[in-house]
Amino acid sequence: MTRDTSGPAESTRRDYVKYGGALLGSGLVAGCTGDGTGDATATPTDTATETATETETAATDQTATESGDDSYSVEMAPVGTVTFEEPPESVAHYFPGYADMAVALGAGDTVNSVGLPSRYHTDHYDELDGVSVDESSITNLVGDAGISKELFYELESDLHMIDPVWLVENGAFKLEQADIDEISSGVAPFLGNTIFRRTDDWHDYRYYSLYEAFEKVAKVYDAEETFTAFQSFHDEFLAEVQASLPGPDSRPNALLCWQAKDQPESFYPYRLSGKGTNKKAFRDLGITDALAQTGIDGLSESDRGTIDYENLLAVDPDSILLRGHETKSRAEFQDTVVAYMEDHDVASQLTAVEEGRVFRGGPIYTGPLHHLFLVERYATSYFPEQFSGELFDRDELAAIVTGDA
């Protein structure tokens, strides 16, 4: 294929992927990479029915009808419908959670990029025989000057599994709607939805749960059998865990916050009650929000405020979930952050510190494989009397991913 280097490529990119949707217009309120307080609350009883209804809800607007002899279509807000003649072989991602979905479907070799690879945590793949992703082949989409339009041409992806509104509304990326339109026609379509949080004012279109989005990605890869097997594994695992949880009155609350320093003095609070996918593991275990009814807002694009130890002491959460330390092991986290808090004049008075319930808060962007390991991590951390060791069969899960089940 030849290309005129004096300008954008013409719409000849990979004829087997056809763009059939309409992008949302621009002009919405710009956001950033924070998390806020607009998430709807979820009680522990909500979690018991959440996963059971995800696929039923997704089916109401899923378009996967035949549009040709071999072609198939996938519909997802905000883009609309994209038609494929075969699964894409090279896919650009921003959110690591979507990359994790590709790996879970046995399509990890299609992932060519993510935004901020340092936030794509892949250690859990090491526990699954035959499951991996080549991190050396993953391009960082975000540079010092934002996201370069030219990079999308260099990647020559068959699909951009990225919410295009996210790219436009986050001003730091320096992309405009015209850039999205050009990339869609000159390289490949976009398909994706920002699901890790539900706090952006500009996100006035449908949200998806983790498994609703996962099912869409499975349609893209024509991997619905793998998805069905994976979902069944998830549902059975979660049912077993939830059946052994202590009663709601015996479950601690938690303060979820961000601070990447090893000697923290202040924290950016999140609201644990949110329905974004990055909090699904906490919802599934019935961990409640320590900031409920305190008047303290969470981190958002408009509120970058912090709370210090005096504020924390006034709330005195049962536990603390601290994000920004996912590259550390539990022992490394204990020897740095927790050790510092235990020696701090004020922090040492916190119930969470006294009772040894200061934990790493997990990744911001979580996919279905991430989620299973996180449920296990927090079940064994919060409820050691009920749970210990490995809570699900690694070999069975790996066989689903690799197609050997």
- Mean pLDDT for back-to-back runs of 10 residues, the chain (405 residues): 33 38 31 35 37 43 50 97 97 98 98 94 97 96 94 98 97 95 98 94 97 98 98 98 96 95 94 92 96 64 70 94 96 98 98 98 96 98 97 98 93
Task: Decide: 249 and 261 in contact? Cβ < 8 Å.
Answer: no
- Cα torsion angle, 266, 272, 277, 281, sign: positive
pLDDT, residue 273, reads: 87
The CA distance from 393 to 379, in Å, is 16
Residue 297: per-residue pLDDT: 54
Q: Which residues contact 197 (CB under 8 A, 6 or more apart)?
A: 35, 36, 39, 274, 276, 278
In order of 8, 10, 156, 276, the CA distances from 42 in angstroms are 46, 47, 41, 11
pLDDT at 271: 86
Query: Both tokens of residue 96?
Result: 């690591």
Other beta carbons within 10 angstroms of residue 101's beta carbon come to: 32
Closest CA to 391 of 366, 405, 404, 372: 372
Sign of the alpha-carbon torsion through 245, 246, 248, 250: negative
Answer whether 0.85 is exceeded by the pTM: no
Distance CA 350, CA 58 (A): 43
- Side-by-side strand order, sheet with 139-140: 139-140, 111-114, 91-93, 159-161
Domains of the chain: 17-235 (3.40.50.1980), 247-402 (3.40.50.1980)
Measured CA to CA in angstroms, residue 218 lies from 110, 179, 283 at distances of: 13, 27, 24
